Chain A
């Protein structure tokens, strides 16, 4: 029997590089990340199979539609690298099995990645970076560039290797009960930071000319009820419209334009500016 085929470190690194750079470069609404995936698998099939015909056949497995959250989805590429290696060693894994696994993983990991990475990690990093940018300091942007890229490089490489070595078990670790507890806790930090971002970075005030009958400024009254009351009210309003009324973000922005226009007309809003 022939010697057991094993993917070299170099090939795995190349596959990882191809994915982490090219996952969305040739994106289209029809095939989304499929071509990025093909490029990530190309070094793998080239090493595992000798004849061009075999290589082509193996690669065609991955021409099925693929789309997920690209950072966390790196794990799926790792898993299929492991599967392809097993298949090249004669294990009974057919195209349907591989694509079944891919299709089964891409949905849950997309949901996970969208809420953890795009919904929590990036806002936390950007929130901290915004705090460091006060007065136009470049520190915040530099902080974000360094921390985000470092985290993603290490995290994605870890995800790829975990996927390759552990196969399906790696994904188990992301969606098991303990992982859910951890995820919920991270989202909790995210929710608090979003609250702090809302209070720090949204500044909505009513017109300074708006005076109550007693003589006090209306804005002071609002601040007396709760500091930053107007930003809070508008955030909840937008959330309500988009979540409960299913208004999309562009329409939501247009609604705010109308509110601003009407508010300026009746004198509630007045930025009090001049050139």
Chain B
């Protein structure tokens, strides 16, 4: 299996759209096209093997399930993860003959994706820095009252930066993908320490993504019980995610009812009866 110039160009185009900051906008670009699972579907279709694409995308998605970028600091670049990492991982898996649905393939995909994504942060800073040039022009146009040129600054000129920082790197690296994967096969045998480590890292990496999420949602020690509850639902009771979300919603409802009851009770002496909230009438004293 190899990647031809047309396929590599398509990856390059999607990289432009899916980056953060990208030309597809935040909602459709970064948060849709940039998610590895969606990219897995797209790359899979482009490479003619949708199934492997999705399996690889899903494996990498777990690592980046929570890619929060507070204040514009990034720990991984989505265009690199999704449109360089996934094509390379598909090549590596196909050309080494591992079963794409196996845990080994998932581990290989996750570690390749993470390696490429971390190196790719340089592309993020590159794009943002080039945008400074357009913004500088924008300030001048704003000063002169040439207001419609702002659309040019915001929607058109950043494409130039993306050709340099998104299209070209993606195109060149995915074009050379087959050669790279062949080299890897020759110099890094599967039973060697390097490959064993690579796969093990791949299985460990998703924990970082989940821990980043936990950091966001855990504000007091008892929140761990909630997390542990969800983990147990799946690990011991065999609930899938939809079932776990359903059970979670039920407990959240109880939690909300209790919390709003508390608020109503706290407000009751001050607000008397008049401002009683609509859903908790009966419990008001």
Contact = CB atoms under 8 A, between A and B. Distances in A.
A26 B22 CA distance: 8
A256 to B, nearest CB: 4
B21 A26 contact: yes
A136 B101 contact: yes
B203 interface: yes
30 contacts: A23-B26, A25-B158, A26-B134, A28-B129, A29-B125, A30-B135, A56-B147, A71-B27, A118-B66, A119-B68, A120-B216, A120-B217, A127-B241, A136-B53, A136-B54, A140-B58, A181-B255, A192-B248, A192-B251, A193-B241, A194-B213, A198-B227, A201-B62, A205-B203, A227-B236, A228-B235, A238-B211, A269-B196, A273-B196, A275-B98
Given A123-B66, A127-B65, A263 B200 contact: yes
A108 interface: no
A249 B129 contact: no
A242 B138 CA distance: 39
A273 B26 contact: no
A152 B245 CA distance: 20
Interface string B199-217: 1110111111011111111
Nearest to A187: B217
Contact of B155 (A25, A135, A191): A25
The 4 closest A-B pairs by CB, nearest first: A195-B230, A192-B230, A27-B21, A136-B51
Contacts of B148: 42
Interface stretch (B2-10, B36-44, B171-179): B36-44
A115 B217 contact: yes
Contacts of B40: 141
Interface of A: 20-32, 34-36, 38-39, 42, 46, 52-53, 55-56, 59-60, 63, 67, 70-71, 110, 114-115, 118-120, 122-124, 126-131, 133, 135-138, 140-142, 144-145, 148-149, 152-153, 156, 177-178, 181-182, 184-205, 226-228, 231-232, 234-235, 237-239, 241-243, 248-250, 252-253, 256-257, 259-261, 263-265, 269-271, 273-275
Contact of B142 (A60, A67, A187, A231): A60
A22 B154 CA distance: 7
A39 B75 CA distance: 29
B262 to A, nearest CB: 8
Contacts of A149: 27-28, 32
Interface in B113-133: 114, 118, 125, 127-129, 131-132
A39 B151 contact: yes
Interface residues of B, number: 123
B110 to A, nearest CB: 10
B191 A273 contact: yes
A99 to B, nearest CB: 16
Interface of B: 20-23, 25-28, 30-32, 35, 37-38, 40-41, 50-55, 57-58, 61-62, 65-68, 70-72, 75-76, 96-98, 100-101, 103-104, 106-107, 114, 118, 125, 127-129, 131-132, 134-135, 138-139, 142, 145, 147-148, 150-151, 153-155, 157-158, 185, 189-191, 193, 195-197, 199-201, 203-208, 210-218, 223, 226-236, 239-242, 244-245, 247-249, 251-253, 255-256, 259-260, 263, 277
B128 A29 contact: yes
Given A119-B216, A128-B241, A198 B210 contact: yes
A53 B241 contact: no
A194 B241 contact: no
A20 B241 contact: no
A250 B197 contact: no
B207 A257 contact: no
B128 A181 contact: no
Nearest to A115: B216
Contacts of B139: 63
A31 B65 contact: no
Contact of A21 (B25, B68, B129, B158): B25
Contacts of A114: 68, 70, 216
